Structure 1
């Protein structure tokens, strides 16, 4: 039978299915390029057909396919597994498992309770554990997880100073009813707490401004240890404040290496036990998240993606939820975590909108500390008005024009706009991965003056640089070769100098966008244009005018206080900007 998992090639070879393809997706079925889609799943290809963005029409398409074909139905997904209420016999004393409590825990750090419990059977699915904490700001329930070798962990984010008393609840008698108290003390110097939405922008919990000028290294934690360490060293000297990264490994161009381990126990050759997680794999992920936090970098955790050869993109509803609960319980205690439900959600052929809404609810249930959460598109954008979505996480919607939509998207959804993928600086053969450093920086500036934030990525082909292998930053990390990061740092510094540390869109000229802080600072960006001068009519009062070379990273101040109508001489180069700052009279 034909369904979302059917490949395009399989459906084409069946006359009845082919007629359905020609009716619902004629632009693909009748295309000379149809052979390129033969291996694609129908659940992916619907994302390329505008008419099938209508969920009712999409349902009719799959219903029609389900009625044709004489193949055997696909094996059912693994069922949900309920915890075993008889996991430990009645003669085991309640609350008898030894507990290891932390000493005074600094504010905004993980507060971790550890218990030495039973290990027979399969504790990953047989045992449910949680703790209810009571502190000055109220009660909070935090789910626990099995960490292997008879160790159970409840990890909370210490978000309130003072005493935290707790009581555990568990289906394992020895883990049920354990009580105690831990103390949360003042934050360490330099700690600012989790990032929260602040209107169209972001702040840390302590009020410190956060500007998410980020980068992407999807599979960096699945690389050899030496390469991971090199990535951390590179990030320590880079200007980025956020890193997009996947939990699952990636199979795609320049990503053919097999990781040493996986979220689930097993291997591609021998199969995976979807009832058992690999604690060593997750401990390393936790360590990397903590190391990013020490660098002041937010870990934007991508929970699902489509670039898969291991079966992780099609685990089924029960395993998806089991995996999500485990990941969120492990990582929600870190202050520097953001959630991304998916990279290119519309390419995950096994899931539809209802699935994403259900899975987002699981994340919300298991994260009592309210980390930021969004979802990322390939072609059709998600409805970012959904209440669980804290900010827009979007990628280019046109080969050239994306950042220019920032102010429109702010108005459309009323939320901060983060363009997490605007294409990548590099020189590979893919159009999304061969823009220049100048173009990358231009897109950053176009987004910035419109009140949003643009993300970086780099895809330089190593042999062209005299290097061996296929280590491209956008996926594997390593070192940066491009010319944009220093200019991104320069932009971030200019934004930090605004009164509130952010730019919002301001009334613009027909040929030039303006942003900044109304009545205080105005920043205009010329982009591709290269005027020799600009006539300005200034608002009342005195102003300082600066000419900014966004590529040369220079700021030249016009002498004196400017008033009224002013002619500003310019160098006739691209990528120039003006900054106007109101002065006290």
Structure 2
């Protein structure tokens, strides 16, 4: 009798894993298949399994209901035997709200309806560093406001990223990296000479380690925005064939899609791949839509030209700013164009490296965050400060050296106080201010809102005058977004004047009293 194992109880939106012994001859990654069907009272879900090495196959399932389930697992990997079982799904525990979904057109909420306000960061290959550095990164994240992090499956070859990763996704050997220097690294970008990989044999240990990191993020309440492909490569992973790409995508989805905190980022800077076409990206998207039964969030990230974010498979816009100076200022236009959540995953990074994308001030980073939020978008952070060990947060993680990150918890708290789900631009605000009001449907729009969040960025007014109607009473707070203070100014009605300190980065929060 074939051996297989599974837990008899699992939490709602957690992972139920069936592990079975199977064939390890030939090439188990391509010559054998395994899949499972999981059935409860309210859902039936079929998923692909995968080979995990050492003669072991796994099939993973994320249940959406607290109820009894049964399963059948079969395939050529187990000689067509039907492995059956039953298990109980318990209610979701504390902090488990399920996966993130699009809500209210431009915003996000967890599966259980709890609003989610993204405060993201980028650490491209943090999980491919040493155990010590990974632990340091997780501790930094634990003590931060970040609830989303972008990172890659493949290692990265770029400035400050010339070392070898802790592991590789395929069996084989890399080129000799001892020839790499800061001066000649571009010479090796995109080269495949010297690499010896079997693109039909995955290295399970590489993916097992990434899974541990995804789970560690989940336990911290952080979404894993997984960058599945990227062009910064000296190993040949960005130049695989169509068949190799498709095999990779199916393997990644089978391994990771049962984790509730996964987001799919098809690419970082899709337009820099020399050998990929729009048809390729659309094919990958089709694979995700077919193979991921949980409908995790999906995006694709640009360097210069935007992908067509109106494509139906794209759930939200993952945007890198195109203008040298402007970023958040374009949110109104993008919201109107795409009618989807706008996530500014790269509005430039706080730091001091030579590149213009990596040397803005902490004050400017915080300004871009507040402006994006008040316009109804979700900004992302990165940090690129020079140091003697070339350990930059934006790629390696570790510790944060800047000042902007210290101010995001303050902003996130104010975001969470928004009535309803999310802010939208207040079209009646003055030309010299930015204002957000609660997102409302067309049917619910009213001339006087219950909540206003005005932001004055680098302008320094000594006072502002407001008039919404003659009857309502409004409670007014003056917010110093940099110094993180909130001053209660009392209750006003009719036309009223609010004194301001004449400093940059001030905001005024106005709440209508019921």
What's the secondary structure of 2:172's corresponding residue?
strand
> How far does residue 533 in structure 1 lie from its aligned partner after superposition?
1.2
Matched, 1:177 2:102: no
Q: 2:301 aligns with which of 362, 376, 380?
A: 376
1:128-527, aligned counterparts within 5 Å? Answer: 128-174=33-79, 176-199=81-104, 200-269=106-175, 271-462=196-387, 468-500=388-420, 502-507=422-427, 508-517=429-438, 519-527=449-457
Kindly provide the CA deviation profile for residues 435-492 of structure 1, in whole angstroms up to 9, marking residues without a partner as x. 0000000000111011010000000001xxxxx3100000000000110112111111
Q: What is the CA deviation profile of residues 213-265 of structure 1, one whole-angstrom value per residue up to 9, with x for unaligned ones?
A: 10000011111111111100100001001000000000000000111311111
Aligned partner of 1:547 among 453, 462, 478: 478
Quick check: 2:302–2:319 contact (8 Å CA) kept in 1? yes
- 1:79-115 CA distances to partner (integer Å, 9 max, x unpaired)? xxxxxxxxxxxxxxxxx53110212000011110000
Alignment root-mean-square deviation, CA: 1.2
TM-score (normalizing by structure 2): 0.92
- Number of aligned residues: 483
Asked if the contact 2:49–2:57 (Cα under 8 Å) also holds between the matched residues in 1, the reply is yes
Residue 286 of structure 1: how far off its partner (Å) = 0.3
What's the TM-score once normalised by structure 1's chain length? Answer: 0.81
Partner Cα separation in structure 1 for residue 214 and residue 96 of structure 2: 15
Aligned counterparts of 1:323 and 1:176: Cα–Cα separation in 2: 26
Q: Conserved in 2, the CA contact under 8 Å of 1:495 and 1:501?
A: no
CA contact (8 A) 2:38 2:61 kept: no
Q: Distance in 1 between matches of 2:375 and 2:80?
A: 53
How far the C-alpha of 1:167 sits from its partner, in A, is 1.7
Alpha-carbon distance, 1:348 to partner: 1.1
- Per the alignment, in what secondary structure is the counterpart of residue 346 of structure 1? helix
Q: Contact 1:116/1:151 (CA < 8 Å) preserved in 2? A: yes
Q: Does the CA contact (< 8 Å) of 2:37 and 2:47 recur in 1? A: yes
Measure how far apart 1:169 and its partner are: 3.2
Secondary structure (helix, strand or coil) at the match of 2:39 reads strand
> What is aligned with 1:579?
509
User: SS in structure 2 opposite 1:487?
Assistant: helix
What residue number does 2:191 align with?
none
Find the aligned partners of 2:397 and 2:240 in 1 and give their Cα distance.
27
Q: Which has the higher helix share?
A: 1
When residues 175 and 469 of structure 1 are mapped into structure 2, their CA distance, relative to the original with a 3 A threshold, is farther
User: Within 2, Cα distance between the matches of 1:556 and 1:188?
Assistant: 37
Contact in 2 for aligned 1:97/1:175 (Cα 8 Å): no
